[in-house]
Amino acid sequence: MPQGLQVQPEQPVRNVKSPLAIAIGEFWKSYRKNKPAIVGTVIVLFFILLAVFADFIAPQGINDQNIGHKLLPPSAAHWFGTDDFGRDIFSRILFGARLSLRVGFLSVIGSIIVGTLLGTVAGYFGKILDVVISRIFDILLAFPSILLSIAIVAILGPSLNNALVAIAIVNVPVFGRLVRSRVLTVKEEEYVMAARSIGMGDARIIFQHVLPNSVAPIIVQGTLNIATAILDAAGLGFLGMGAQAPLPEWGKMLSDSREYIQTAPWTVLFPGLAIVLVVVGFNLIGDGLRDALDPRMKN
């Protein structure tokens, strides 16, 4: 080797983060600064854990009756008291969390799937498809959501599953119009035009370019709509159109206990408080996601 030449030691290869990892890191960095969103996340995770482990936490079965212990106030034996059948309210609220969260998540997932499909077709292809689908959305949005849900359940029959279907149908136009407006904007972007110019098919453009750039508002709206779905399920249950006895759905528990609101207020207080906390938790998460995912909300 000629004198004066030195061999440079090999530099270690650094791990390069993928764009997805960078995006997730930026999202979490922004999201965790939002204290109300963190509080909402803690509340929702708390109720999810209660629902998952209800079989191990609940001191009694949801239908274990003891007429001698009916309408007992909160105590060490019954943390939230008992109802008019002597059933432990704490146990019923734990299992009721399963029902309410299931309705919230499944109804919103169904609404997102159908609404995204219809909104994408309307926004991307336009013309007569856009007119027909948009008019269907307008008709559904012309009715108050709770009244339309009641009408659908009246046709299908009162039950928790039918209430879930009704809530999903009512929320379809919300996601459909959101996705349609986003698709109308994204499909005019330069990268979409470039993909179309090189012969890329419509299906590939939609799934590789249009939908991935429309996910953020769907996530935010979906989180907020979970809270709305839980409220709608509770409203239908309160009116006798949702969950039927003896299911421990929170709205049904409120309905069954409304005549004891003065003599045994705990029978109404704790189911109502559970509804309020879960709804507030999802709303706080939705606001935090909006702030973290929307570039316009960042400094």
Buried b (16+ CB within 10 A) or exposed e, 161-186: ebbbbbbbbbbbbbbbbbbbebbeeb
In a 13 Å sphere around the CA of 257, the CA atoms on its Cβ side amount to: 29
Instruction: Give the Å distances, CA to CA, from 109 to 10, 50, 116, 158, 223.
Output: 51, 22, 10, 21, 10
Contact call for residues 275 and 234 (beta carbons, < 8 A): yes
Question: Mean pLDDT for each 10-residue chunk of the chain (299 residues)?
Answer: 53 57 73 86 93 88 80 85 87 91 93 92 86 91 89 90 92 92 84 79 81 85 91 90 85 87 88 93 89 62
* pLDDT the model gives residue 1: 47
* pLDDT the model gives residue 127: 83
Amino acid, res. 112: I
Domain residue spans of the chain:
55-297
Give the fold, CATH level 3, of 55-297: MetI-like fold (1.10.3720)
* pLDDT the model gives residue 70: 83
Question: Residue 163, Cα to own-chain centre: how many angstroms?
Answer: 16
Instruction: Give the Å distances, CA to CA, from 151 to 100, 139, 155, 232, 254.
Output: 21, 14, 6, 13, 22
